[in-house]
Amino acid sequence: MIKEALPRTRLDWRLCFVADSEAAAAEDVLALIGRAAAGGATLIQLRGKAWSDRQFLDLARRARELLRPAGIPLIINDRADIARAGGAAGVHLGQADLPVAAARDILGRRFLIGISAASPAQAREGEAAGADYLGVGPVFRTLSKEDAGAPLGLAAIRRIRSVTSLPILAIGGINAENAPSVICAGADGVAVISAITGAADPERETARIMGSIGRLGIKSRTTGRGVGRP
């Protein structure tokens, strides 16, 4: 029996580690999630385009259990069904994925739904459809996603910030050096893949990114829905 998600009051958006099947093997992904959590990541997104459905679900459940003691929410990329069956906090959708309304039908009102937005128009559409947060990018050039498109730059963050009150997670080529500029442009947090996955010491690099953001003194944001069990 699938349990409904638990209520939430605040969510810390500052640093989301995107654990990607194309960047690491399955067991390495779990190890990386553990190191990122130990380094201070406040959210984890699991992206599994190279995994079978069963493998993805198994890894989602194992990641959830790994993160449970620290209370770190797990977001599943693309797959609302995996998010619900795996007991994740929610799902992140691209522009070509399920519409927000369809994902809400699967997940209910108490799970997070994020949607990618590369323009103010997409941001407005996502907010009107009932998304809980926006993923904006790629901000800078990235090699982590072949179809990511041209870099949007910091100006896009500012433009999107001006039309929405939703939390913004910026993604694409973000590291400890440029993360503060992304936050200052209006993002609530950053989503990172290669800077952590490719680091010699992922835990230390996660802590370094968190430190660069922490110096800005930003606080967690309250959102309007519940959050699934981490």
Residue-wise pLDDT for 188-216, tens only, equals 999 999 999 999 999 999 999 999 998 87
CA distances from 162 to 28, 33, 108, 121, 186 (A): 39, 33, 29, 11, 9
Catalytic (active site) residue 49:
no
Domain that holds residue 177: 15-214
Question: pLDDT tens digits for 51-80?
Answer: 999 999 999 999 999 999 999 999 999 999
Q: Kindly state whether residue 124 falls inside one of the protein's structural domains.
A: yes
Number of domains present in the structure of the chain: 1
The span from the CA of 149 to the CA of 139, in Å, is 10
**Local confidence band at 225 (pLDDT 50, 70, 90 cut-offs):** low
Cα–Cα distance between 114 and 91 in angstroms, integer? 6
Query: Per the domain annotation, does 1 fall within a domain?
Result: no
Whether 36 shows a pLDDT value over 50: the answer reads: yes
Question: Given the structure tokens 């194992």, which residue do they identify?
Answer: 62
Catalytic residue, candidates 14, 84, 104, 145: 145
Q: What is the CA radius of gyration of the chain?
A: 16
Residue 227 domain flag: no
The whole-model pTM stands at 0.90
Measured distance CA(64)–CA(46) in Å, rounded: 10
Taking CA atoms, 198 is separated from 31, 50, 58, in Å, by: 13, 18, 24
Under the banding of pLDDT at 50, 70 and 90, the label for residue 23 is: confident
Separation between Cα atoms, residue 221 and residue 109, nearest integer Å = 18
Q: What is the pLDDT of residue 10?
A: 72
Q: HSE (CB half, 13 Å, CA atoms) of 193?
A: 23
φ, ψ for residue 60, nearest 5 deg: -60, -45
Distance between CA atoms of 4 and 217, rounded to whole angstroms? 33
Does the residue 166 lie in any domain?
Answer: yes
Residue 27 has pLDDT above 80, yes or no: no
Over residues 87-112, mean pLDDT:
96
10: annotated active-site residue: no
Is residue 148 within 8 Å of 170, Cβ to Cβ?
Answer: no
Among 47, 79, 84, 208, the active-site one is 47
With cut-offs at 50, 70 and 90, classify the pLDDT of residue 229.
very low
145 catalytic? Reply is yes
In a domain, 221, yes or no: no
Q: In this predicted structure, what is the pLDDT of residue 104?
A: 97
Give the pair of three-digit tokens for residue 64.
């959830």
| C-alpha–C-alpha distance, residues 51 and 32, integer Å | 17
Q: Which of 21, 116, 144, 212 is catalytic?
A: 116
CATH of the domain at 87: 3.20.20.70
Residue 77 lies in a domain: yes
Q: Are strands 90-93 and 112-117 parallel, antiparallel or unpaired?
A: parallel
Within-domain flag for 180: yes
Cβ count within 10 A of residue 102: 12
